[in-house]
Amino acid sequence: MEEIKIKVNGMVCEGCENRVKNALSTIDGIESVEANHETGIVTVKTNKEIDNTVIEEKIDDIGFEVVKD
């Protein structure tokens, strides 16, 4: 199992966290999603190789911004 941490701008409440969790949970291979609006960190656990671009595009699609290092 792989763990991916992504910094996301725009999450301001638990509702935002739930939108991110629900959207990412639809991606095949994602086991679990944790989102924290206070830190802006989304943690994704996968059971197979997933291209980060797929995850980032899904976050963008629902109106949040992925912070690139």
pLDDT tens-digit map of 29-63: 999 999 999 999 999 999 999 999 999 999 999 99
| Cα distance between residue 15 and residue 29, in whole Å | 24
pTM of the model: 0.93
The amino acid at residue 12 is V
pLDDT attached to residue 1: 85
What's the CATH code of the domain at 51? 3.30.70.100
- Output the CA–CA distances (angstroms, integers) from residue 13 to 48, 50, 58, in the order listed: 30, 27, 19
pLDDT attached to residue 46: 96
The number of domains in the chain is: 1
Taking 80 as the threshold, does the pLDDT of residue 69 lie above it? no
| Contact present, 11 and 49 (Cβ < 8 Å) | no
| Contact present, 67 and 9 (Cβ < 8 Å) | yes
> Residue 7: which domain range?
2-66
